[in-house]
Protein backbone atom coordinates (compact mmCIF):
# COMPACT_ATOMS: atom_id res chain seq x y z
CA UNK A 1 0.00 0.00 0.00
CA UNK A 2 1.39 3.34 -0.99
CA UNK A 3 1.78 5.85 1.82
CA UNK A 4 -0.19 9.05 1.63
CA UNK A 5 1.12 12.43 2.69
CA UNK A 6 -0.48 13.15 6.11
CA UNK A 7 -3.18 15.80 6.26
CA UNK A 8 -1.77 17.36 9.41
CA UNK A 9 1.60 17.88 7.71
CA UNK A 10 0.10 20.24 5.13
CA UNK A 11 1.47 23.74 5.55
CA UNK A 12 -0.88 26.69 5.11
CA UNK A 13 -3.88 26.31 2.73
CA UNK A 14 -6.28 27.09 5.60
CA UNK A 15 -9.36 27.59 3.45
CA UNK A 16 -8.89 24.28 1.68
CA UNK A 17 -8.26 22.39 4.90
CA UNK A 18 -11.32 23.90 6.57
CA UNK A 19 -13.53 23.09 3.60
CA UNK A 20 -12.41 19.47 3.50
CA UNK A 21 -12.80 19.08 7.25
CA UNK A 22 -16.27 20.63 7.12
CA UNK A 23 -17.21 18.11 4.41
CA UNK A 24 -15.82 15.31 6.57
CA UNK A 25 -17.93 16.44 9.52
CA UNK A 26 -21.08 16.94 7.45
CA UNK A 27 -20.98 14.87 4.23
CA UNK A 28 -24.34 16.30 3.16
CA UNK A 29 -22.74 19.69 2.49
CA UNK A 30 -22.45 18.82 -1.17
CA UNK A 31 -18.79 18.36 -1.81
CA UNK A 32 -15.80 20.57 -2.40
CA UNK A 33 -14.33 22.03 -5.57
CA UNK A 34 -10.66 22.94 -5.42
CA UNK A 35 -9.34 25.27 -8.09
CA UNK A 36 -5.78 26.42 -8.22
CA UNK A 37 -2.60 26.80 -10.20
CA UNK A 38 -0.18 24.01 -10.89
CA UNK A 39 1.96 22.85 -8.01
CA UNK A 40 -0.25 24.11 -5.21
CA UNK A 41 -0.90 20.69 -3.70
CA UNK A 42 -4.57 20.36 -4.63
CA UNK A 43 -4.68 16.62 -4.99
CA UNK A 44 -2.24 16.07 -2.13
CA UNK A 45 -4.74 17.58 0.28
CA UNK A 46 -7.69 15.60 -1.07
CA UNK A 47 -5.82 12.30 -0.95
CA UNK A 48 -4.58 13.13 2.53
CA UNK A 49 -8.14 13.51 3.72
CA UNK A 50 -8.88 9.92 2.70
CA UNK A 51 -6.33 8.53 5.13
CA UNK A 52 -7.73 10.71 7.89
CA UNK A 53 -11.36 9.65 7.77
CA UNK A 54 -12.70 7.45 10.54
CA UNK A 55 -13.96 3.97 9.67
CA UNK A 56 -17.64 3.30 8.99
CA UNK A 57 -19.98 0.42 9.85
CA UNK A 58 -21.25 -1.61 6.91
CA UNK A 59 -23.42 -4.64 6.32
CA UNK A 60 -21.20 -7.60 5.56
CA UNK A 61 -21.45 -8.73 1.96
CA UNK A 62 -23.28 -5.66 0.69
CA UNK A 63 -21.72 -4.36 -2.53
CA UNK A 64 -22.84 -0.82 -1.76
CA UNK A 65 -21.68 -0.92 1.87
CA UNK A 66 -25.08 -0.06 3.32
CA UNK A 67 -25.21 1.32 6.85
CA UNK A 68 -26.79 -1.21 9.25
CA UNK A 69 -28.22 1.67 11.30
CA UNK A 70 -30.00 3.34 8.35
CA UNK A 71 -32.53 0.89 6.85
CA UNK A 72 -34.14 3.81 5.01
CA UNK A 73 -31.07 4.14 2.78
CA UNK A 74 -30.49 0.47 2.07
CA UNK A 75 -30.01 -0.94 -1.37
CA UNK A 76 -32.59 -3.32 -2.85
CA UNK A 77 -30.50 -6.35 -1.96
CA UNK A 78 -30.29 -5.42 1.72
CA UNK A 79 -34.01 -4.69 1.81
CA UNK A 80 -34.81 -8.02 0.25
CA UNK A 81 -32.93 -9.83 2.98
CA UNK A 82 -35.04 -11.28 5.81
CA UNK A 83 -35.11 -9.03 8.88
CA UNK A 84 -33.93 -11.86 11.07
CA UNK A 85 -31.26 -12.79 11.80
CA UNK A 86 -29.99 -9.23 11.83
CA UNK A 87 -27.31 -8.66 9.19
CA UNK A 88 -23.73 -8.93 10.36
CA UNK A 89 -21.80 -5.70 10.33
CA UNK A 90 -18.15 -4.85 9.95
CA UNK A 91 -15.94 -1.77 9.93
CA UNK A 92 -14.50 -0.50 6.66
CA UNK A 93 -12.41 2.56 5.81
CA UNK A 94 -14.52 5.29 4.23
CA UNK A 95 -14.05 4.85 0.49
CA UNK A 96 -12.35 7.63 -1.40
CA UNK A 97 -12.80 6.60 -4.99
CA UNK A 98 -10.82 8.10 -7.82
CA UNK A 99 -12.63 8.78 -11.05
CA UNK A 100 -9.64 8.46 -13.36
CA UNK A 101 -9.28 10.24 -16.67
CA UNK A 102 -10.27 7.99 -19.52
CA UNK A 103 -12.85 6.14 -17.43
CA UNK A 104 -15.64 4.73 -19.57
CA UNK A 105 -19.35 4.91 -18.83
CA UNK A 106 -19.70 1.19 -18.12
CA UNK A 107 -17.12 1.34 -15.34
CA UNK A 108 -18.58 4.49 -13.81
CA UNK A 109 -22.23 3.44 -13.75
CA UNK A 110 -21.73 -0.28 -13.56
CA UNK A 111 -22.67 -2.70 -16.28
CA UNK A 112 -23.59 -6.21 -17.16
CA UNK A 113 -21.00 -8.69 -15.95
CA UNK A 114 -19.83 -9.92 -19.31
CA UNK A 115 -17.99 -12.96 -18.14
CA UNK A 116 -20.95 -14.37 -16.24
CA UNK A 117 -23.30 -13.49 -19.05
CA UNK A 118 -21.26 -15.20 -21.72
CA UNK A 119 -20.11 -18.25 -19.80
CA UNK A 120 -23.07 -18.97 -17.53
CA UNK A 121 -25.82 -17.05 -19.27
CA UNK A 122 -26.55 -15.16 -16.07
CA UNK A 123 -27.67 -11.57 -16.19
CA UNK A 124 -25.66 -10.10 -13.32
CA UNK A 125 -24.87 -6.48 -12.50
CA UNK A 126 -21.27 -5.54 -11.95
CA UNK A 127 -21.21 -2.38 -9.82
CA UNK A 128 -19.08 0.54 -10.97
CA UNK A 129 -17.22 3.42 -9.37
CA UNK A 130 -20.45 5.12 -8.25
CA UNK A 131 -21.35 2.06 -6.20
CA UNK A 132 -17.89 1.93 -4.68
CA UNK A 133 -18.14 5.59 -3.69
CA UNK A 134 -21.47 5.18 -1.87
CA UNK A 135 -21.18 6.70 1.61
CA UNK A 136 -17.71 7.95 0.81
CA UNK A 137 -15.98 10.44 -1.44
CA UNK A 138 -15.75 10.52 -5.21
CA UNK A 139 -12.66 12.39 -6.31
CA UNK A 140 -12.30 13.81 -9.82
CA UNK A 141 -8.88 15.26 -10.45
CA UNK A 142 -8.72 17.54 -13.50
CA UNK A 143 -12.46 17.91 -13.25
CA UNK A 144 -12.58 20.38 -16.13
CA UNK A 145 -11.15 17.74 -18.46
CA UNK A 146 -13.89 15.24 -17.65
CA UNK A 147 -15.70 14.05 -20.77
CA UNK A 148 -19.10 15.65 -21.24
CA UNK A 149 -21.11 12.44 -21.15
CA UNK A 150 -19.55 11.58 -17.79
CA UNK A 151 -20.31 15.05 -16.48
CA UNK A 152 -23.95 14.56 -17.43
CA UNK A 153 -24.37 11.35 -15.51
CA UNK A 154 -22.38 12.66 -12.57
CA UNK A 155 -24.65 15.69 -12.24
CA UNK A 156 -27.69 13.47 -12.26
CA UNK A 157 -26.45 10.96 -9.69
CA UNK A 158 -24.92 13.56 -7.40
CA UNK A 159 -28.24 15.38 -7.28
CA UNK A 160 -30.45 12.35 -6.66
CA UNK A 161 -28.16 10.11 -4.61
CA UNK A 162 -29.39 7.16 -6.64
CA UNK A 163 -27.74 5.45 -9.58
CA UNK A 164 -30.28 4.08 -12.02
CA UNK A 165 -28.89 1.69 -14.62
CA UNK A 166 -31.14 0.79 -17.51
CA UNK A 167 -28.95 -0.81 -20.12
CA UNK A 168 -28.06 -4.13 -21.64
CA UNK A 169 -31.28 -5.64 -20.36
CA UNK A 170 -30.45 -4.66 -16.80
CA UNK A 171 -32.68 -2.60 -14.58
CA UNK A 172 -30.84 -1.75 -11.40
CA UNK A 173 -31.03 1.10 -8.95
CA UNK A 174 -28.73 1.46 -6.01
CA UNK A 175 -27.85 4.18 -3.51
CA UNK A 176 -24.94 6.39 -4.59
CA UNK A 177 -24.60 9.08 -1.99
CA UNK A 178 -21.12 10.49 -2.07
CA UNK A 179 -19.23 13.67 -1.38
CA UNK A 180 -18.10 14.96 -4.75
CA UNK A 181 -14.61 16.41 -4.64
CA UNK A 182 -13.17 17.96 -7.76
CA UNK A 183 -9.92 19.70 -8.43
CA UNK A 184 -8.51 21.43 -11.43
CA UNK A 185 -6.66 24.32 -12.92
CA UNK A 186 -9.07 27.08 -13.95
CA UNK A 187 -6.92 27.85 -16.98
CA UNK A 188 -7.75 24.51 -18.51
CA UNK A 189 -11.33 25.44 -19.21
CA UNK A 190 -14.53 26.20 -17.43
CA UNK A 191 -16.90 23.93 -15.62
CA UNK A 192 -20.48 23.52 -16.71
CA UNK A 193 -22.71 25.69 -14.45
CA UNK A 194 -24.83 22.65 -13.56
CA UNK A 195 -21.77 20.79 -12.32
CA UNK A 196 -20.48 23.86 -10.53
CA UNK A 197 -23.76 24.04 -8.68
CA UNK A 198 -23.37 20.48 -7.39
CA UNK A 199 -20.38 21.51 -5.31
CA UNK A 200 -21.30 22.88 -1.90
CA UNK A 201 -18.02 24.63 -1.31
CA UNK A 202 -15.52 26.01 -3.78
CA UNK A 203 -11.99 26.86 -2.76
CA UNK A 204 -9.33 28.78 -4.68
CA UNK A 205 -5.78 28.07 -3.70
CA UNK A 206 -2.47 29.67 -4.51
CA UNK A 207 1.10 28.88 -3.61
CA UNK A 208 2.31 30.77 -0.55
CA UNK A 209 4.73 33.60 -1.31
CA UNK A 210 6.33 33.50 2.10
CA UNK A 211 9.80 32.03 1.77
CA UNK A 212 9.85 30.34 5.20
CA UNK A 213 6.56 28.63 4.45
CA UNK A 214 7.79 27.56 1.04
CA UNK A 215 10.95 26.08 2.49
CA UNK A 216 8.91 24.20 5.05
CA UNK A 217 6.62 22.76 2.39
CA UNK A 218 9.51 21.60 0.20
CA UNK A 219 11.33 20.19 3.20
CA UNK A 220 8.34 18.14 4.37
CA UNK A 221 7.56 16.91 0.90
CA UNK A 222 11.18 15.86 0.45
CA UNK A 223 11.27 14.13 3.83
CA UNK A 224 8.08 12.30 2.98
CA UNK A 225 9.36 11.11 -0.37
CA UNK A 226 12.62 9.88 1.04
CA UNK A 227 11.05 7.92 3.89
CA UNK A 228 7.28 7.67 3.47
CA UNK A 229 6.69 5.15 6.25
CA UNK A 230 8.83 7.02 8.77
CA UNK A 231 7.22 10.33 7.90
CA UNK A 232 3.71 8.96 8.24
CA UNK A 233 4.57 7.32 11.55
CA UNK A 234 5.99 10.59 12.77
CA UNK A 235 2.74 12.43 12.06
CA UNK A 236 0.51 9.65 13.37
CA UNK A 237 -0.29 11.34 16.72
CA UNK A 238 -1.48 14.53 15.00
CA UNK A 239 -3.50 12.49 12.52
CA UNK A 240 -5.21 10.56 15.32
CA UNK A 241 -6.01 13.75 17.20
CA UNK A 242 -7.52 15.27 14.06
CA UNK A 243 -9.58 12.15 13.42
CA UNK A 244 -10.89 12.30 16.97
CA UNK A 245 -11.83 15.91 16.45
CA UNK A 246 -13.78 14.99 13.31
CA UNK A 247 -15.65 12.26 15.20
CA UNK A 248 -16.44 14.62 18.07
CA UNK A 249 -17.61 17.20 15.55
CA UNK A 250 -19.96 14.71 13.90
CA UNK A 251 -21.46 13.88 17.27
CA UNK A 252 -21.90 17.50 18.18
CA UNK A 253 -23.28 18.55 14.79
CA UNK A 254 -27.02 17.92 15.44
CA UNK A 255 -26.81 19.93 18.64
CA UNK A 256 -25.17 23.02 17.20
CA UNK A 257 -27.67 25.88 17.21
CA UNK A 258 -28.15 28.43 14.44
CA UNK A 259 -30.12 31.38 15.76
CA UNK A 260 -32.32 33.73 13.77
CA UNK A 261 -29.73 36.47 13.80
CA UNK A 262 -27.22 34.22 12.03
CA UNK A 263 -29.83 33.14 9.47
CA UNK A 264 -30.86 36.70 8.82
CA UNK A 265 -27.30 37.89 8.45
CA UNK A 266 -26.56 35.09 5.97
CA UNK A 267 -29.48 35.88 3.76
CA UNK A 268 -28.69 39.57 3.83
CA UNK A 269 -25.10 38.81 2.82
CA UNK A 270 -26.27 36.65 -0.07
CA UNK A 271 -28.60 39.35 -1.30
CA UNK A 272 -25.93 41.97 -1.00
CA UNK A 273 -23.27 39.91 -2.76
CA UNK A 274 -25.71 38.91 -5.49
CA UNK A 275 -25.83 35.11 -5.45
CA UNK A 276 -28.03 33.02 -7.67
CA UNK A 277 -30.64 30.87 -5.94
CA UNK A 278 -31.00 29.82 -2.35
CA UNK A 279 -28.40 27.10 -2.30
CA UNK A 280 -25.58 29.47 -1.42
CA UNK A 281 -27.34 30.67 1.69
CA UNK A 282 -28.20 27.16 2.77
CA UNK A 283 -24.70 25.81 2.20
CA UNK A 284 -23.15 28.73 4.02
CA UNK A 285 -25.21 28.13 7.15
CA UNK A 286 -24.60 24.39 7.07
CA UNK A 287 -20.88 24.74 6.49
CA UNK A 288 -20.68 27.23 9.35
CA UNK A 289 -22.51 24.73 11.52
CA UNK A 290 -20.10 21.94 10.58
CA UNK A 291 -17.18 24.21 11.32
CA UNK A 292 -18.62 25.21 14.69
CA UNK A 293 -19.14 21.54 15.54
CA UNK A 294 -15.58 20.73 14.49
CA UNK A 295 -14.19 23.54 16.61
CA UNK A 296 -16.26 22.54 19.63
CA UNK A 297 -18.74 25.40 19.69
CA UNK A 298 -22.42 24.93 20.50
CA UNK A 299 -23.64 27.84 18.40
CA UNK A 300 -22.89 29.28 14.98
CA UNK A 301 -21.37 32.72 15.35
CA UNK A 302 -20.26 35.43 13.01
CA UNK A 303 -16.71 34.09 12.98
CA UNK A 304 -17.74 30.75 11.46
CA UNK A 305 -20.04 32.40 8.93
CA UNK A 306 -17.26 34.73 7.85
CA UNK A 307 -14.84 31.84 7.51
CA UNK A 308 -17.05 29.81 5.20
CA UNK A 309 -18.72 32.63 3.25
CA UNK A 310 -16.19 32.86 0.41
CA UNK A 311 -16.15 29.08 -0.13
CA UNK A 312 -19.94 28.79 -0.03
CA UNK A 313 -20.72 31.78 -2.25
CA UNK A 314 -17.76 32.25 -4.61
CA UNK A 315 -19.07 29.99 -7.38
CA UNK A 316 -22.63 31.24 -7.10
CA UNK A 317 -22.06 34.94 -7.61
CA UNK A 318 -23.76 36.42 -10.61
CA UNK A 319 -21.29 37.29 -13.33
CA UNK A 320 -20.49 40.94 -13.50
CA UNK A 321 -18.36 41.82 -16.49
CA UNK A 322 -17.49 45.22 -15.09
CA UNK A 323 -16.19 43.91 -11.77
CA UNK A 324 -12.65 42.65 -11.98
CA UNK A 325 -11.90 42.42 -8.28
CA UNK A 326 -12.52 38.69 -7.99
CA UNK A 327 -15.18 36.90 -6.02
CA UNK A 328 -13.47 36.90 -2.62
CA UNK A 329 -13.17 40.66 -2.79
CA UNK A 330 -16.82 41.04 -3.71
CA UNK A 331 -17.86 39.03 -0.68
CA UNK A 332 -15.54 41.03 1.52
CA UNK A 333 -17.06 44.22 0.18
CA UNK A 334 -20.57 42.93 0.83
CA UNK A 335 -19.64 42.14 4.43
CA UNK A 336 -18.24 45.63 4.92
CA UNK A 337 -21.40 47.17 3.47
CA UNK A 338 -23.55 45.09 5.82
CA UNK A 339 -21.44 46.19 8.77
CA UNK A 340 -21.83 49.82 7.77
CA UNK A 341 -25.58 49.31 7.44
CA UNK A 342 -25.78 47.69 10.86
CA UNK A 343 -23.74 50.46 12.44
CA UNK A 344 -26.04 53.07 10.94
CA UNK A 345 -29.14 51.21 12.10
CA UNK A 346 -27.67 50.82 15.58
CA UNK A 347 -26.95 54.54 15.69
CA UNK A 348 -30.52 55.39 14.76
CA UNK A 349 -31.96 53.10 17.39
CA UNK A 350 -29.73 54.54 20.12
Partner 1 sequence: MPEAQPTAERTTQQSPEAAAAAAASAAAADALRAQDAWRAAACLAVDPVGLGGAVLRTDLGEVTEAWLAALASPLPPGEGLRRLPPHIDDERLLGGTDLAATLRAGRPVHARGLLEECARGFLVLPMAERAEPQLAARLGAALDQRSVLVAREGQQREFATGFALVALDGGRASDEHCVPRLRERLALHVDLAGLRADAPPALARGELEAARALLPGIQAGDEALQALCATALACGIATLRAPLLALRVARVHAALEGRDAIESGDLEFAARLVLAPRATVDPSAQASEPEPPPPEPPPEQPPDASDQPPEPRDPTEVDKLEDSVQEAAQAMIPKDLLERLAAAELARTRNGTAGRAGANTLAKRRGRPAGVRAGRPGAGTRLNLLATLRSAAPWQRLRGREAGAQAGGHAGGQATRVRVLPDDFRVTWYRQKKQTVTIFAIDASGSSALHRLAEAKGAVELLLAGCYVRRDEVAVIAFRGRQAELVLPPTRSLVRVKRSLAGLPGGGGTPMASALDLAARLMAQVGKRGQTPTLVVLSDGNANVARDGTGGRARAEADAFAAAKQLRTLGARVLLIDTAPRPQAQSQQLAELLSARYLALPQADARRMAEAVRLAG
The site for partner 1 (CB under 8 A) is made up of 2, 8, 11, 37-41, 43, 98-108, 111-112, 114-115, 117-119, 121, 123, 128-129, 141-142, 145, 147-149, 168-169, 187-190, 206-207, 209-223, 225-226, 231, 234, 238, 319, 321-322
φ, ψ (nearest 5 deg) of residue 53: -70, 140
Q: Which of 81, 221, 272, 279 is catalytic?
A: 279
φ, ψ (nearest 5 deg) of residue 106: -65, -35
Min dist. Cβ of residue 169 to partner 1 (A): 4
Contact of 191 with 179, CB cutoff 8 Å: no
Min dist. Cβ of residue 225 to partner 1 (A): 8
First to last CA, the chain: 65
Residue placing its CB nearer to partner 1 in the complex, 214 or 268: 214
Q: Look up 63 and say whether it is catalytic.
A: no
Nearest in space to 305 (alpha carbons), one of 255, 269, 333: 269
Min dist. Cβ of residue 51 to partner 1 (A): 14
Element (H, E) at 307: helix 302-313
Min dist. Cβ of residue 171 to partner 1 (A): 12
Min dist. Cβ of residue 97 to partner 1 (A): 9
CA pair distance 222, 181, nearest whole angstrom: 26
Residue placing its CB nearer to partner 1 in the complex, 218 or 303: 218
Contact of 100 with 147, CB cutoff 8 Å: no
Nearest in space to 256 (alpha carbons), one of 301, 219, 226: 301
Min dist. Cβ of residue 249 to partner 1 (A): 20
**C-alpha Rg value of the chain to the nearest Å:** 22
Degrees to nearest 5, angle at CA 149 with 148 and 152: 90
Q: Which long-range contacts (CB under 8 A, 24 or more apart) does 102-106 make?
A: 103/129, 103/150, 105/149, 105/150, 105/153
Bond into 85 cis (ω within 30)? yes
Within 13 Å and on the Cβ side, how many CA atoms surround 144? 15
Q: Residue 350: CB partners within 8 Å, gap ≥ 6?
A: none
CA pair distance 298, 167, nearest whole angstrom: 49
Min dist. Cβ of residue 39 to partner 1 (A): 3
Residue placing its CB nearer to partner 1 in the complex, 60 or 124: 124
Q: Residue 173: CB partners within 8 Å, gap ≥ 6?
A: 76, 162, 163, 164, 165
Residue placing its CB nearer to partner 1 in the complex, 8 or 73: 8
Q: Which residues are catalytic?
A: 279
Amino acid sequence: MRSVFPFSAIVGQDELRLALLAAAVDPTLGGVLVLGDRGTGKSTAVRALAALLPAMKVIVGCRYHCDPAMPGQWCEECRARPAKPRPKSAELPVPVVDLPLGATEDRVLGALNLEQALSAGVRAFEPGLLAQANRGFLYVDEVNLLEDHLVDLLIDVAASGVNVVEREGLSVRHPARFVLVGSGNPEEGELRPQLLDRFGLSVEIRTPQDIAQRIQIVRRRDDFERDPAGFVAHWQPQELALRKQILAGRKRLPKVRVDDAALEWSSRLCMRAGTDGLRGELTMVRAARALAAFQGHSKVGRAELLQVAPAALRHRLRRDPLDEGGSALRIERAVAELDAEDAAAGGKRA
